[in-house]
Structure 1
Amino acid sequence: MGLRELWKRSDSPELGGPAIHIGSRHLRVGGGVCQTLAVIGYPREVSAGWAEPLLSYPGQLDIAFHLDPVPAPTAAVQLRRRRARLESAQRTDLVRGRVEDPHQTAAALDAAEIADRIATGQGRLFRVGVYITVHAPTLELLDGHLQQVRALCSSLLMDVTPTVFRTLQGWISTLPLGTDPVGTVRSMDTDAVAGMLPFSSPELVADLSETTVVYGTNTHSSGLVAWDRFCAGLDNHNSVILARSGAGKSYLAKLEVVRSLMVGVEVTVIDPEGEYTRLAEAVGGTVLRPGAAGQPGLNPFSLPAAAQDGQGFTHRALFLHTLIGAMVGDLSTTDRTVLDRAIVTAYAQAGITRDPATWDRPAPVLADLAAVVEELATAPDTEQDLAHAAQGLAGRLEPFAQGSHADLFTGPSTSVVGGHLTVVSLRELPDQVRPVGVLVALDAIWRHVTAGTEARPRIVVVDEAWLLLQDPAAARYLARLAKAGRKHWVGLTVITQDVGDVLGSELGKVVIANAATQVLLKQAPQTLDAVQAAFRLSEGEAHLVGTAPRGSALLVAGHQRVGFHPVASAEEHRLITSDPAELAAMRAQKHSGPQDHGHCTDGSEGGEVA
């Protein structure tokens, strides 16, 4: 019995399954008809994502890429023979006085370039076969789809031919079996293969590098949206993520953190609600909890090494003025005079002066500063107006030095910002002192990224940034980081749900304006007009961000715009989800033991699970 008779009889009870009827040009299978096209010609030069239209074709297509690496010795022999034939043909044409063939000349140059790249280890040679199976319910519809696919391939400068009398082999070539019985292949190097695979969105054009991360899938096609915030073509490395509550902004931010860690980017997170602690613990990161009992602290009086900052003493004194102002409110000129004297005296009592040789000594703490202020208030040689100001300042410092808020500043610095992931969780801080804790955390992060200890890309993530922008001192620090971060290879990620407050603040507008990458998820109707004006969205783009499903986003980078939906693996999803139901199920499963309950998710947390 031949192969054709076997497949025709495959609807018998003994074999089971539907019959496959084989024709010379098409197959009847699964209640429909299909025909396979083999790609036999390719354009000479392409750009990234050039084959994307094939994936976005509205009909049903099965596209298979078969890549077979050629061993380097075999590739060298093949290329040498190919170059010999081409150069021999060129010499023959020259001797006979024929006009030079430009295609032949280009082929000879390409062969020489590929041979050099393979010899130096910069690439490899592959045998590549590409097959397209077009499906339709009837033969009439199939003919129409075939004409459209052929026209689409012609627009991409691809030559295709049907697998005539090899319809079964062509269909098998596009099944997920990894076999190529047709064998219509072309030789390509690594760059050509990478450019041919439609895995990137053509809407995004940038010089991608090793710090590129995948954000998700294109909402208008099946391509992947990959973006590199640190590429040379962008003005800065900053990013903003704006959305209404529950739109999936934290899910997307945590997904970017995970994938940035994979490519060697150092990440520091200011986490107001403690959402990132589980992720940090899972990947071996550091979690700092200012204000929590028994937790390590950050002493704002600590001085840097002289090699890092030759003006460290002056810079610390200026920051302490800002910090004390955030604690106790506005300071008058007399208050600042008292505070400056107290700062210098507190350092002097600890044996620290402007001499960098003394900066490695234990720094004073806030209680020491408060004690000096009280001494100034009662000292007989203090001017009357300064004594009165010192007395008032000492009373306002009391809650932070010895009162209910003293846990923030009771001891020396025992925490270090650094490592591959550092999360500063502010969940334990009361709302009254949270701006102060944020300011101390921002200062520690800024000192770390400007220390110059190691040149590497870094990301500073500030979640719920609208809380920080309400405090002028913290807002100024954010604006400073947004403006100067690029000089230190640092990208600031600002995440906020209160878009109106951000766009209504001058410093908030500075942060937004200095973000080369802008991600917009679903916006509230009340702020949609402000968002459209601030980001210069078209009517279609404004409608997209106003009606986007949960998790879908619009990435804006200058004139480049692309919609995408985050896609996370099952392991990534377990680390970044904040859905209370899923977290409760994971805790219950952990306590009950390693049992498989067939957990699945519909991506309700803002992304899909691959």
Structure 2
Amino acid sequence: MAMLNRFKKKREAMDQSSSRRYVYSRETKATGKDFIAPSSIKETLPGDETYEGTHSDYLVEIGSTIEPVRYFRTIFAEITGGNTWAGMLDQVILGEFGKGDTDIAIHVDPVDTADELEDINRRIQGIESDIIMEKNSSTINNLRDELADLKDRQKRLRRNIESPFNVSIQIVSSATEIKTLKKYTNNLIRKLAGRSIVSRSPDGKQLDALLNITPLSENPMYKEHTFGFETANVADLFPFGHGGISHKSGIIIGKDHLQRPIHYDGWHKDLMNHNMVIVGRSGGGKTFAAMVLTHRSAHIGIRTAIIDPKGDYKKFVLEMGCPYIDLSPDSEHRINFFDVDIEEDENGVRRVNVDETVAAAAAIIFKMIRTMDDAMLKGNIKAKIKGFIRDLYKEREITSDPDSIFDHDHTYVKNDHGHEFSIGGTYKKMPVISDLYKKMVSDPVTAEVAELIKPFTQGGGSPSQAIFDGQSTVKIQNVPIFAFGLQHLDEEEMRPIGTFIATKWQSAKFAKKNRHIQKRVIYDESQTAMSDPELAAWLENEYRVLRFFNTSMCAITQGFEVFTRVPQGLGILKNSPTKLFFKQDPIDIEEITNKFDLTDGEGDFLVRQAKEGLGILRIDEQASIINVDSTPEEFALFNTNPNVTTNQFQETAV
């Protein structure tokens, strides 16, 4: 306190001088004697001479015993539109603008709620009066939007969901050279402008502004730069606050614990890729969340393919007017896992990936053989089978050339990259399992093992096993959503095979096509794939490569621990920046907490507090409580629990 009093008295004496050069003394005790280190504080205007001998700008020059001099400049940040999001000032706090330093002061003054409500009420009355008098329809619409926002704020304040504050954001930049400081500050201002934050400089009052962030200020000037905020907005300004996750694009996937909407964009520029995982116990809300994600994504042009092992999505997909592909003996739908199609890379080069198709088809054949007799699958047998499959494509003259998969003459066009390709042709008939069986049974090396795949052919006498022997009858073109239903396949034998085939088929026909379109593949009950080496390896590869085709993979599982047992599962988790956790079993929570660095409080929340649809959304290092809710119409479409009504759902919402 004595030091502050001396500082104040010296400042008062200097304020009486017309000179802008201020000299302060700093006293310390050293070796029993007073030691005086000369130091100076000088506020400069454009044209003033500085310590460097150059002409200055609006800034403060402070001498030091550590460095010759340091220059400071203050700006006040004003957030336009009143919109905030979690971590919006993180870049400022980190000071990533060049060779300089940043200090930030956030001044927060509480406002009496009654006064704020009275002010809002006056503004509402004024806008209602303006709407009556206004003739311009565009202006009327703007006024109605503003009126709706004010009424929402009025409701939050009345219910004590939020509290009002006056907020001022002051940012002080500093550097040891004026040139460096100018560059640093200009970079800072440009970054702020990109986030709809306007910078106001207190030119001519830079010293007062600098003192404003210390206890020395007797006349706080930050009050000249305040704006009204609510509790949630204030929290967004702090790196340790519980601000809501918001990408300002994409869809509203739910609300946080403060009832603020959470916007999610799987293609946000800050994410390393588009992938995600949804983890939770049975009945926690995983499938419901996937439907919310799918339905709302469709409205902004994101297309979705769903692998549905239990038939949970059938009602939803059909009522959306989209194809539900039921893979069963009684269904008209058939897909051929020998199908190939055209891929286009980022440079616009189109090709048919025959090698990958051969490998995938061989993996499916190997799975069929293992289902019958694992001991028969020797190395020489594998090599022979791959060779036969490759021969099937050669016989049809199918190569990496895109034209090779068509039968008739084509019309040639150019894509956006200037590469020429053909359209208008009809696809050649693709190889089928029966074709492969004929080759295997006629070769002495593979004749015996050929009998193991015979049941999967039309001549094998087992319609339930032969459903993948034939040309595809399914065509996916310009539909927002489609799903493969696997619930009618034998759970022990055919469902794993059918899952592999459906996943591989959609990859060639959907995920790896139309690179310019955002796509998502949802794989429910994905823990079953981790016990299958071929399928686990295939899925992990899809998680790594599909991002290059503008496709997001979304694995849904109630068996998280299964993922952690195999390297492929760990690879999937590692390649998923977005993770959505719902209610967890106590036996799983320790593993989940350790793998994802959740706090003890978050773990306790997921075990003891999370109700259906309530969980934690984790996007990279950001996390938020989320309630995945819906409109009554959406709920009627998505609900898979016959014991829950729309009214009950609305009552249990956070």
> Shared fold (TM-score greater than 0.5)?
yes
Q: Give the Cα–Cα distance (whole angstroms) in 1 for the partners of residues 324 and 356 of structure 2.
A: 27
Is it true that 1:257 corresponds to 2:294 in the alignment? Answer: yes
**Alpha-carbon distance between aligned partners in 2 of 1:532 and 1:463, rounded to the nearest angstrom:** 22
Report the equivalent of 2:435: 368
Matched, 1:566 2:625: no
1:433 — aligned with what?
A: 494
In the other structure, the counterpart of 1:161 is none
Tell me the equivalent position of 1:288. Answer: 325
For 1:356 and 1:438, how far apart are their aligned partners in 2? Answer: 27
Q: Does 1:423 align with 2:483?
A: yes
- C-alpha distance in structure 2 between counterparts of 1:567 and 1:125, whole Å: 24
Pair 1:50–1:507, CA change in 2 (3 A): closer
Q: 1:249 touches 1:521 (CA, 8 Å); kept in 2?
A: yes
Contact residue 43 and residue 156 of structure 1 kept, 8 A: no
Distance 2:229 2:539 in 1: 42
Going from structure 1 to structure 2, the CA distance change for 1:284 and 1:603 (only over 3 Å counts) comes to: same
Aligned residues: 446
Is 1:213 the counterpart of 2:254 in the alignment? Answer: no
Q: Give the distance between the partners of 2:334 and 2:542, measured in 1 at CA.
A: 23
Measured against aligned partners, the alpha-carbon deviations of 1:464-505 in whole angstroms (never above 9, x if no partner) come to 111122211111121112112222221111110011112222
| One-letter amino acid matched to 2:560 | V
The one of 403, 410, 419 equivalent to 2:469 is 410
Distance 1:250 1:356, change over 3 A: closer
**How many Å apart are 1:215 and its aligned residue?**
2.1
Match of 1:552 among 614, 634, 638: 614
Give, in angstroms, the shift of residue 296 of structure 1: 1.8
Q: 1:43 to 1:253 in 2, by over 3 A?
A: same
CA distance in 1, matches of 2:648, 2:549: 40
Matched, 1:575 2:637: yes
Residue 156 of structure 1: which of 167, 182, 199 is its match? 167
Among candidates 357, 367, 372, match of residue 326 of structure 1: 367
| Secondary structure at the counterpart of residue 253 of structure 1 | helix
Q: For residues 201-251 of structure 1, what are the alpha-carbon distances to aligned partners after superposition, in whole Å with 9 as ceiling and x for unaligned?
A: 9446777354x22122222x2222222221101111111111111111111
Amino acid at match of 2:472: S
Any stretches of 5+ residues in structure 1 without a counterpart?
A: 1-41, 77-117, 137-144, 159-189, 377-386, 583-598
Closer/same/farther in 2, CA of residues 562 and 205 from structure 1, 3 Å limit: closer
Deviation at residue 410 of structure 1 after TM alignment:
2.6
Give the whole-Å Cα distance in 2 for the aligned partners of 1:319 and 1:481.
12
Amino acid at match of 2:364: L
Q: Is the 8 A contact 1:567 1:607 kept in 2?
A: no
Change (3 A) 1:421 1:494: same
Q: 2:405 aligns with which of 346, 356, 359?
A: 359
Partners of 2:436 and 2:652 in 1: CA distance = 50
Q: Is the 8 A contact 1:521 1:554 kept in 2?
A: yes
C-alpha displacement at 1:508, in angstroms? 0.9
Contact persistence 1:49–1:197 (CA under 8 A): no
State the TM-score, normalizing by the size of structure 1.
0.64
Deviations 1:505-551 (A, max 9, x none): 21111111111111111110111110100110111111111112222
Match of residue 597 from structure 2: 536
Q: Provide the residue aligned with 1:163 in structure 2.
A: none
Given that residues 532 and 542 in structure 1 are in contact (C-alpha distance below 8 angstroms), is that contact kept between their aligned partners in structure 2? yes
Report deviation, 1:347.
Answer: 4.0
How far does the alpha carbon of each residue in 1:16-44 deviate from its partner, in whole angstroms, 9 at most, with x for none?
xxxxxxxxxxxxxxxxxxxxxxxxxx983
| CA shift in 2, pair 1:427/1:450, >3 Å | closer
Query: Aligned partners of 1:422, 1:543: CA distance in 2, in Å?
Result: 37
CA distance in 2, matches of 1:191, 1:68: 26
Task: Give the drift of 1:126.
Answer: 6.3
Task: Quote the Cα distance in structure 1 between the aligned partners of 2:576 and 2:79.
Answer: 33
Partner deviation per Cα, 1:388-433 (whole Å, 9 max, x = no partner): x312221211121233244322320111244210111111111212
Conservation of the 8 A alpha-carbon contact between 2:165 and 2:229: no
Structure-2 residue corresponding to 1:96: none
Paired residues of 1:568 and 1:607 also in contact (CA < 8 A): no
CA contact (8 A) 2:85 2:244 kept: no
- The 1:501–1:322 alpha-carbon spacing in structure 2 relative to 1, beyond 3 Å, is same
**Using a 3 Å threshold, how does the CA distance of structure 1 residues 390 and 579 change in structure 2: closer, same or farther?**
same
Q: Residue 339 of structure 2 contacts residue 505 of structure 2 at CA under 8 Å; is this kept in 1?
A: no
Per-residue deviation, 1:328: 1.0
Partners of 1:237 and 1:123 in 2: CA distance: 38
After TM superposition, give the deviation of residue 578 of structure 1 in Å.
0.7
8 Å CA contact retained: 2:340, 2:508: no
> Which residue identity is paired with 1:571?
E
3-state SS in 2 of match to 1:483? helix
Whether the 8 Å CA contact 2:613–2:627 is kept in 1: the answer is yes
The answer on whether the counterparts of 2:340 and 2:352 sit within 8 Å (CA) in structure 1 is no
Classify the secondary structure of the residue corresponding to 2:446.
Answer: helix
Matched, 1:527 2:588: yes
Partner of 2:447: 391
Distance 1:463 1:533 in 2: 24
Assess, with a 3 A threshold, how the Cα gap between structure 1 residues 559 and 346 changes in structure 2: closer, same or farther: closer
Are the counterparts in 2 of residues 238 and 482 from structure 1 also a CA contact under 8 Å? yes
Equivalent residue for 1:315? 356
Q: How does 1:578-593 map to 2 (within 5 A)?
A: 578-581=640-643
| Paired position in structure 1 for 2:79 | 45
Indicate the SS of the match to 1:411. coil
Q: What is the letter of the counterpart of residue 45 of structure 1?
A: I
* 302-311 or 334-343, larger mean C-alpha shift: 302-311
Name the residue aligned to 2:27.
none
Q: Amino acid of the residue matched to residue 489 of structure 2?
A: L
Identity percentage of aligned residues: 20
Superposed displacement of residue 560, structure 1: 1.1
Give the whole-Å Cα distance in 2 for the aligned partners of 1:44 and 1:75: 32
What SS does the corresponding residue of 1:225 show, helix, strand or coil? strand
CA contact (8 A) 1:217 1:564 kept: yes
- 1:320 positional shift: 1.7
Runs of 5+ in structure 2 lacking a partner? Answer: 1-75, 88-107, 170-195, 199-227, 237-241, 407-427
Offset of residue 364 of structure 1: 2.2
**2:530 paired with 1:469:** yes
Q: Kindly indicate whether the alpha-carbon contact (under 8 Å) linking 2:256 and 2:626 is maintained by their aligned counterparts in 1.
A: yes
Bigger drift between 419-428 and 300-309 goes to 300-309
Contact 1:466 1:501 in 2 (8 A): yes
* Contact 1:51/1:196 (8 A) holds in 2: no
Instruction: Report what 1:338 is aligned to.
Output: 384
The alpha-carbon distance between structure 1 residues 311 and 129, as it changes in their structure 2 partners (threshold 3 A), is closer
Instruction: Please say which of residues 542-551 and 263-272 is displaced more in the overlay.
Output: 542-551
The corresponding residue for 2:456 is 400
2:255 is paired with a residue whose SS is: strand
Q: Secondary structure at the match of 2:79?
A: coil
1:494 aligns with 2:550: no
| 1:316 alignment partner, SS class | helix
AA aligned opposite 2:354: F
User: Which letter does structure 2 place at the counterpart of 1:412?
Assistant: Q
Aligned counterpart, 2:339 = 302
- Alpha-carbon distance in 2 for matches of 1:476, 1:206: 32
Measure how far apart 1:311 and its partner are. 4.6
* 1:572-609, Cα deviation, whole Å (9 max, x unpaired): 01111011346xxxxxxxxxxxxxxxx743129x9749
Counterpart of 1:424, as a letter, is F
Residue 346 of structure 1 contacts residue 372 of structure 1 at CA under 8 Å; is this kept in 2? no
| 1:4-83 pair list within 5 angstroms | 44-45=78-79, 48-49=83-84, 66=124, 68=127
